[in-house]
Amino acid sequence: MSCLVTVIIPTHNRPDLLDEAISSVANQTLADWEIIVVDDCSTPPVSPAQLQEKFGTTVKVLRHPSSLGGAAAKNTGIKAACGKYIAFLDDDDLYAPTYLEKAVSTLQNHPEINTLFMSVAWFGPNSKWTHESYTDAMNKILADLAGTQVTETLLEFEANRLFKALLKRVPMAFQRPVATREQVMQIGLYQEDCLLWDCDWALRAALNGRCGLVTEGLYLQRSAGQGYSSQPRRRMDHSLSNLEIKKQLIKRNVRPDLAKLIRLNYIQSAQDLSWEYINQNQGFLAVKTMLASFQYGIHFLQIKFLAHALYSCGLSLFSKEQR
């Protein structure tokens, strides 16, 4: 049975937060929606009967028999979606009451926009510093973009310019998309082996037509240290994933100027990863990372980072010999 919007909510072992997330959809000013909860092997399993008793039969539950991760859960929801539009909600976040109405009306009134991104507002005990960090990142990317102010709360961006800006950083607003089901499929499913799957998808969206941004913070993001992929210990994993994203982008058939920019950004990402390795006394891996980057160009900073990596590698070997 078709509906206007499918809201996909991946979840894993967060029953109380999941109820809050679903409640925020149930309280939307736009009523023509379905929710697909994708249970990524929660223990105990999410109960479809209990959710439908609380929220009605427009809530469906699909279950992974083993945990496959958030990207796979989103893909499962996309494949099962019946809505004309697809939106996503993490199980620890909320929608403001007008979220769906604003997103759908914007896409309907501005058919030139292929993908609409939704700005974020923060809540929770850590919201002060996450808001400050987010605001700083948004100010930087919006300065780079110089988007067109279409309405008081809508910016439009030229696709290639947005892509160039997202290569530098992908603030949370650009990880909160709403688009037609056809557009989502054209961009492609989420990369299930990619830790930064939302960032990867945003970059591919920017290569697939004009994008817009609703500047009202209608996506309510919880900041309480509960995020699975945002823990400080995962900074190395983030650097590795960022480098892999750039490597995959290099393989795409894009304009020569964009291809050159991607290669340069790969080198910069390799430098970031090399620095992480150096800080963790893994000089050999730092050297390996920098040497691999030379296939995409040669720059002064590369040579400087390689020298740092070689020095770090030498220190590590010397330290082992002294034991």
Q: Give the tokens for residue 156.
A: 């439009």
Q: What is the pLDDT of residue 318?
A: 47
**pTM exceeds 0.75:** yes
pLDDT in tens, 172-201: 999 999 999 999 999 999 999 999 999 999
Q: What is the pLDDT of residue 159?
A: 81
Taking the C-alpha atoms of residue 209 and residue 38, their distance in angstroms, rounded to an integer, is: 29
Q: What is the pLDDT of residue 2?
A: 87
Q: What is the pLDDT of residue 283?
A: 87
Max Cα separation, the chain? Answer: 71
Q: What is the mean pLDDT of the chain?
A: 93
Taking the alpha carbons at both ends of the chain, their separation in whole angstroms is: 69
Q: What is the pLDDT of residue 246?
A: 96
45-54, 164-173, 209-218, 308-317, range with the lowest pLDDT: 308-317
Question: 177 with 74: CB under 8 angstroms?
Answer: no
DSSP characters over 208-262:
SS-EEEEEEEEEEEE-SS--SS--GGGHHHHHHHHHHHHHHHHTS---HHHHHHH
Q: What is the pLDDT of residue 315?
A: 61
* Amino acid, single-letter form, for residue 274: S
66-80, 247-261, 302-316, range with the lowest pLDDT: 302-316
| Residues 6 or more apart whose Cβ sits within 8 Å of residue 283 | 277, 309, 310, 311, 312, 313, 314, 315, 316, 317
Residue carrying the six token digits 């945990």 = 67
pLDDT class for 16, splitting at 50, 70, 90?
Answer: very high
Residue carrying the six token digits 């961009």 = 187
Question: 62 with 8: CB under 8 angstroms?
Answer: no
